[in-house]
Structure 1
Amino acid sequence: MDFIQLLPTLLLVALALVMFGLGLSLSLADFKRLLQHPKAVFIALLLQAVLLPAACYGIVVGLGLSPVYAVGLMLLAASPGGVSANLFSHLFGGNVAMNISLTAINTIFSIVTLPLIANFAINAFIQSGQVVPLQVGKVLEVVGVVLVPVAIGMAVAAQRPGFAASMEKPFKIFSALVLAAFALIAIGKEWSALTASFSSIGPAVVLFNLVSLLAGYYLSRAAGLDKPLATAISFEIGIHNSTLSLFIALSVLNNFQLALPSAIYSVVMYLTATLFGWLVLRRGGRPAHGAQASADAGRAPAR
């Protein structure tokens, strides 16, 4: 078995380690405090299930995308937040407990919402008669990858708080390296699709990604949410699970062209999210310190 064959397993292990590292920085108290922010959860779900599909529909119609690319982009819009959203939020001062909770909630909700949105797009644009069924198995896989390592990390942190504190910086560095590796691997894997199709669908993909990130952050701030919560929502709805949308396009609908928007998105999202983090979230200060201080203050009594 060569390195290429081992790569998916190695990436999964690396991702599990990253989620374990996030768990080390969290406690049950962080999740209990989320009960004080039902508005944030409602806003995130509303943006994910209603605003983003509507914005995506406007983009594909406004830019005149071909029907098959329109469905592919709508399929991406219907996909829940990806695991990378938690990593970006961790690096740029978001409320990571909110991110993890939203990833789980959005992913479970997508069992119903993803087929509804995808089938609407198929009927609206290509009338192929194909149907996207409920993706219970793939959705539960995502939840398992997120929740199990985080729960283990939280359990270790509860028993060994000193170890958890000492490992926070190394795991944050490791998270950044994993994101960089994901980006480089995505570029290498999707390079041919990226170069062949970017001129026709790249602008729509980039615009949708930017709209997702900016709407998540600024609409949340306009609704009165603090910066860590707004950051969490921004990355949650701005970093979609392109792996899930690729799986549906290639394995369920058996159409390579439907997968191209997700393939391009899997590359550009790392660039746009990083630029968004530095240009918007880091402007005027370093939010990670404030967010971490707040989390530490709230977590101290629980330990």
Structure 2
Amino acid sequence: MDSWLTTVGLPVALAIVMLGLGLGLTIDDFRRVLTYPKLVLIALGCQLLLLPAVCFGLVVAFGLEPELAVGMMLLAASPGGTTANLYSHLFGGHVALNVTLTAVNSVLAVVTLPIVVNLSAAHFLGDAASIGLQFDKVLQVFAIVLIPVAVGMLLRSRFPDLAVRLAGPVKLVSVVVLVAVVAGAVLKERDNIGDYFLAVGAIVLVFNALSLAACYGLPRLAGVGRREATAAGMEIGIHNSTLAIAIAISPALLDNTRMAVPAAVYGITMFFTAAAFGYLVNRRRAAAEAPVG
């Protein structure tokens, strides 16, 4: 799928997505880390250590073929995104905390995501030199992730009214281009789509459910409030499938459509699992708050 749509359109679209994220961030969103240090440490521990380890165990247990295995690890290493903020809002989470976790996670992902991908490629493919994200590709990830976020934050700081007006069009343009790219990838692999769902559907569902449960349950066990734990569960438990797909199919990065399959399947099933998780959390909260007798 080496066309202008992926060589030019995809990086531009991803940069626009990250610009839109930056338009919604302020310096205070990073400072808020100091207000919730315990929760942030637990959430980041899940993102950086626990979930990649869980995903690796599932990949081995399910016996995925190498390229799909690397795609699952890429998904696990991807941070949360705007979808997590939406679900947190719908199910009573602390949305400001979601924004903070998104901001910190996006910065850390520039370092941690290439590490996870390279280690996975070396383990499952045995050829990390040709498949992984080497230094020049890491710089490209940096350029299309952090620089647009920084530009968006600068616009938000200097020209808040302009940032508000840009937010809608920026999201619309990015969605249109990304849908076109993903549609092209799906068409290329249309003969194998059924097999891919059979191959990764179960592991994607299990990983999604475990991610949501762990990232909500561990903060609760540590004494964190329900709203804050819900925010962490959504933010860390819902991975940015758009970013994973973009990195997988971009000719300048991994250039491998099969590695995008787990993220593509996840991007569909995640909406249902996250809604079910939010419903269960709200039901437990209602039961806990109901008057006795």
Q: What's the TM-score, normalizing by structure 1?
A: 0.69
* Alpha-carbon displacement from aligned partner over 1:189-237 (angstroms, at most 9, x marks no partner): 4594653411111101111111111111011111111111111111111
SS in 1 for 2:239: coil
**1:293 equivalent in structure 2:** none
Report 1:82-121 matches (<5 A): 82-121=81-120
Q: 2: CA distance between counterparts of 1:57 and 1:229?
A: 27
* Contact 1:83/1:146 (8 A) holds in 2: no
Find the counterpart in structure 1 of residue 50 from structure 2: 51
Shift of 1:125: 0.8
Paired residues of 1:31 and 1:97 also in contact (CA < 8 A): no
State the SS of the aligned residue for 1:277: helix
Q: Deviations over 1:139-159 (max 9, x none)?
A: 5655577787789889999x9
1:82/1:103 contact within 8 Å kept: yes
Return the offset for 1:65: 1.2
- Deviations, residues 123-144 of structure 1 (Å, cap 9, x unaligned): 1111123321354554565557
How far off its partner does 1:248 sit?
2.0
Contact 1:245 1:262 in 2 (8 A): yes
Unaligned runs of at least 5 residues, structure 1: 160-173, 288-303
Matches within 5 A, 1:198-237: 198-237=197-236
The correspondence of residues 111-260 of structure 1 with structure 2, limited to 5 A, is 111-129=110-128, 130=130, 131-133=132-134, 135-139=138-142, 141-142=144-145, 189=183, 190=186, 192=190, 194-250=193-249, 251=251, 252-260=253-261
C-alpha distance in 1 between matches for 2:17 and 2:70: 32
Write the distance in 2 (CA, Å) between the matches of 1:254 and 1:48.
Answer: 25
Deviation of 1:92 after TM superposition, in Å, equals 1.6
* TM-score, normalization by structure 2: 0.71
CA distance in 1, matches of 2:15, 2:109: 22
Shift of 1:283: 4.0
Partner of 1:169: none
Q: Which moved more, 1:87-96 or 1:139-148?
A: 139-148
How far, CA to CA, are the matches of 1:27 and 1:115 in structure 2?
26
Structure 1 residues 75 and 16: alpha-carbon distance in aligned structure 2, compared to 1, 3 A threshold? closer
How far has the Cα of 1:98 moved from its partner? 1.3
Offset at residue 246 of structure 1 (A): 1.4
For 2:193 and 2:214, how far apart are their aligned partners in 1? 26
- Amino acid corresponding to residue 34 of structure 2 in structure 1: L
Q: Which moved more, 1:49-58 or 1:85-94?
A: 85-94
Backbone CA RMSD of aligned residues: 3.8
The aligned length equals: 256
Distance in structure 1 (CA, Å) of the matches to 2:84 and 2:150: 14
* Counterpart secondary structure, 1:272: helix
Distance 1:154 1:277, change over 3 A: farther
Aligned AA (2:89): H
Matched AA of 2:242: T
The code of the aligned residue for 2:203 comes to A
SS at match of 1:285: helix
Q: CA deviation at 1:104?
A: 1.3
Q: Is the 8 A contact 1:98 1:232 kept in 2?
A: yes
State the partner residue of 2:62.
63
- Give the partner amino acid of 1:133: Q
Q: Which moved more, 1:274-283 or 1:214-223?
A: 274-283
Q: State whether residues 92 and 282 of structure 1, in contact with CA within 8 Å, keep that contact through their aligned partners in structure 2.
A: no
More moved, 42-51 vs 249-258? 249-258
Structure 2 partner of 1:280? 281
Taking a change above 3 Å as real, the CA distance of residues 279 and 11 of structure 1, as seen in their structure-2 partners, is farther
State the alpha-carbon separation in 1 of the partners of residues 148 and 274 from structure 2: 22
Query: Which stretches in structure 2 are left out of the alignment for 5+ residues?
Result: 162-167, 289-293
